[in-house]
């Protein structure tokens, strides 16, 4: 585990303390929680009392690890306010507990407290770059390359179930090159930095790691950086545009707003773009920051007010004959397509959570038909195009969001490695998706078995 023991330069823990530092007060709180039939809370305060006693006595065995487990238990339950209070107590006793900082970052980010989240995230990865998740019965050790400074990692939790995979998360954007030689043993590398805009600034660092891997460790690598690089939004039209029965909207990236209206007009002309256009910040997904610009004035205003690189994409009204917009998602595992979901919405910006799928039985029925028989739902022409796209992407794990045009061609929205696939609540209205998620997870497991055997 890579750690920095000297953390004097890190930001201090929050000054707000919910829980006391007096062991006697925690014992009193334990009695109160037990009287209120909160046995978990009672145990938590008794652990706190025992931990504080050990620190007060100067015991060589004093450790905040059990208290951190208490905090993480609440965090996993979703009781984030209580978890944050326990994590603060942990950091008061030991400011070098990286997981406490990491989870506090997640709590603050979820609550919209971006500055605090950034502070704790920076602190966590300055302390520690390698996080090993072990459990009994694990058959494989997977080194997961992650970017800690920005979102853009492949959502790998479902793909790498902890019961059979020891996940070794490596925040490589914070790690020095020498740390590549100090990693715990691993059987396989999964490059989870799936967003090309996040990976691009790390290209040199990733290249050094790949060189070390090829020379010394010689372990299999899934989703090499070169394959990720080709999936940038502005490169997809060239990558996929010549495939039979595939259409991709023209897209360009601009790093700063054009200096004048004339410069903007020239840029659009030279790029073959015409209004209306979709404008979105680089390294974003899920419609974050996405704007539909119908006029030059709106486009100029958007670009002038935006910060950082932007993508400009030709807009196409792709609604079906019934007036609804459909967005399909297929996941590729070792270049083979698996159906994941279908979202149907009255609005052109389709997301599963905003399409109100759960409130319309006919939408769920149509999704089930797609999941059960993609060839019939999409048509053989479209399915063959999807298969060709998977081969051209050449990703070990990736996916595509698309629709099917009236003539049976595939219109691509995006295709990359960051596509989400996760299980739904077994008792919820979306539980019908879980067997198909399992197909994806099983295929990824077979892929890992093949690569490690080879």
* Residue 306 lies inside a defined structural domain of this protein: yes
For the segment 412-446, what is each residue's pLDDT rounded down to a tens digit? 999 999 999 999 999 989 999 999 999 999 999 99
Q: Which residues span the domain enclosing 142?
A: 137-174+183-223
Q: 285: pLDDT confidence band, cut at 50, 70 and 90?
A: confident
For the segment 358-384, what is each residue's pLDDT rounded down to a tens digit? 999 999 999 999 999 999 999 999 999
Within this chain, do residues 107 and 214 fall inside the same structural domain, yes or no? no
Within this chain, do residues 267 and 343 fall inside the same structural domain, yes or no? no
* Residue 17 lies inside a defined structural domain of this protein: no
Residue 17: the pLDDT is: 54
d(CA 225, CA 332) in angstroms, rounded, equals 17
pLDDT at 151 over 80: no
Residue 40: the pLDDT is: 93
pLDDT at 180 over 50: yes
Q: What is the CATH number of the domain that holds 355?
A: 3.30.470.20
Within this chain, do residues 381 and 282 fall inside the same structural domain, yes or no? no
Q: What is the mean pLDDT of residues 25-39?
A: 96
Residue 288: the pLDDT is: 87
Within this chain, do residues 123 and 210 fall inside the same structural domain, yes or no? no
Within this chain, do residues 352 and 268 fall inside the same structural domain, yes or no? no
* Residue 236 lies inside a defined structural domain of this protein: no
Q: What is the mean pLDDT of residues 69-80?
A: 93
Q: Let me know: does 248 contact 236? Beta carbons within 8 Å.
A: yes
For the segment 237-251, what is each residue's pLDDT rounded down to a tens digit? 999 999 999 999 999
Q: Of 124, 123, 128, nearest to 182 (Cα)?
A: 128
Residue 185: the pLDDT is: 95
The sign one gets for the Cα dihedral 71, 76, 82, 87 is positive
Q: Let me know: does 94 contact 121? Beta carbons within 8 Å.
A: no
Within this chain, do residues 170 and 189 fall inside the same structural domain, yes or no? yes
Within this chain, do residues 170 and 108 fall inside the same structural domain, yes or no? no
Within this chain, do residues 444 and 332 fall inside the same structural domain, yes or no? yes
d(CA 211, CA 90) in angstroms, rounded, equals 39
- Residues 6+ away with beta carbon under 8 Å from 14: 88, 116
Within this chain, do residues 84 and 111 fall inside the same structural domain, yes or no? yes
For the segment 185-235, what is each residue's pLDDT rounded down to a tens digit? 999 999 999 999 999 999 999 999 999 999 988 899 999 999 999 999 999
* Residue 413 lies inside a defined structural domain of this protein: yes
pLDDT at 3 over 60: no
Within this chain, do residues 282 and 343 fall inside the same structural domain, yes or no? no
d(CA 339, CA 331) in angstroms, rounded, equals 6
Number of domains within the chain: 4
pLDDT at 307 over 60: yes
* Greater model confidence, 90 or 218: 90
* Greater model confidence, 7 or 344: 344
DSSP one-letter string for 144-172: EEE-SSSS-B---TTTS-TTTEEEEEEET
d(CA 298, CA 196) in angstroms, rounded, equals 28
* Residue 339 lies inside a defined structural domain of this protein: yes
* Residue 245 lies inside a defined structural domain of this protein: no
**Residue-averaged pLDDT of the chain:** 93
Within this chain, do residues 158 and 266 fall inside the same structural domain, yes or no? no
The token pair at 78 is 């979703």
d(CA 286, CA 233) in angstroms, rounded, equals 14
Within this chain, do residues 448 and 343 fall inside the same structural domain, yes or no? yes
Residue 94: the pLDDT is: 96
* Residue 56 lies inside a defined structural domain of this protein: yes
């Amino acid at each position: 585990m890579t750690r920095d023991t000297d953390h004097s330069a890190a930001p201090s823990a929050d000054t707000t303390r919910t829980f006391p530092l007096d062991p006697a007060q925690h014992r009193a709180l334990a009695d109160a929680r037990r009287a209120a039939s909160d046995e978990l809370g009672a145990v938590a305060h008794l652990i706190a009392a025992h931990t504080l006693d050990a620190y007060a006595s100067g015991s060589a065995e004093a450790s905040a690890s059990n208290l951190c487990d208490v905090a993480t238990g609440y965090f996993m339950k979703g009781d984030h306010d209580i978890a944050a209070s326990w994590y603060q107590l942990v950091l008061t006793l030991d400011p070098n507990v990286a997981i406490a900082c990491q989870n506090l970052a997640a709590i603050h980010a979820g609550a919209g407290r971006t500055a605090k989240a950034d502070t704790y995230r920076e602190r966590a990865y300055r302390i520690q770059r390698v996080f090993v998740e072990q459990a009994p019965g694990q058959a494989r050790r997977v080194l997961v390359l992650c970017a800690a400074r920005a979102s853009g990692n492949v959502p790998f939790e479902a793909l790498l179930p902890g019961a059979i995979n020891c996940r070794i998360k490596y925040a490589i954007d914070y790690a020095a090159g020498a740390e590549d030689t100090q990693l715990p043993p691993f059987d396989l590398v999964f490059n989870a930095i799936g967003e090309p805009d996040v990976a691009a600034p790390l290209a040199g660092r990733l290249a050094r790691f790949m060189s070390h891997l090829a020379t010394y460790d010689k372990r299999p690598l899934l989703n090499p950086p070169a394959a990720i690089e080709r999936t940038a939004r502005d490169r997809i039209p060239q990558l996929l545009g010549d495939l039979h029965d595939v259409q991709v909207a023209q897209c360009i990236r601009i790093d700063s707003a054009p200096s004048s209206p004339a410069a903007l007009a020239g840029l659009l002309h030279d790029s073959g773009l015409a209004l209306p256009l979709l404008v979105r910040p680089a390294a974003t997904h899920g419609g974050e920051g996405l704007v539909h610009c119908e006029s030059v004035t709106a486009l100029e205003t958007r670009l002038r007010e935006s910060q950082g690189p932007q993508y400009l994409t030709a807009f196409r009204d792709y609604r079906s004959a019934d007036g609804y917009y459909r967005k399909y998602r297929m996941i590729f595992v070792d270049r083979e397509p698996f159906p994941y979901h279908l979202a149907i919405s009255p609005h052109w910006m389709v997301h599963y959570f905003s399409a109100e799928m759960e409130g319309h039985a006919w939408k769920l029925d149509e999704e089930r038909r797609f999941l059960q028989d993609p060839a019939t739902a999409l048509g053989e022409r479209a399915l063959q195009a999807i298969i060709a796209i998977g081969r051209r992407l050449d990703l070990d794990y990736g996916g595509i969001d698309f629709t099917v045009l009236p003539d049976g061609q595939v219109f691509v929205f995006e295709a990359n490695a960051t596509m989400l696939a996760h299980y739904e609540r077994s008792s919820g209205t979306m539980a019908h998706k879980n067997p198909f998620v399992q197909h994806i997870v099983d295929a990824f497991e077979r892929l890992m078995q093949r690569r490690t055997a080879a």
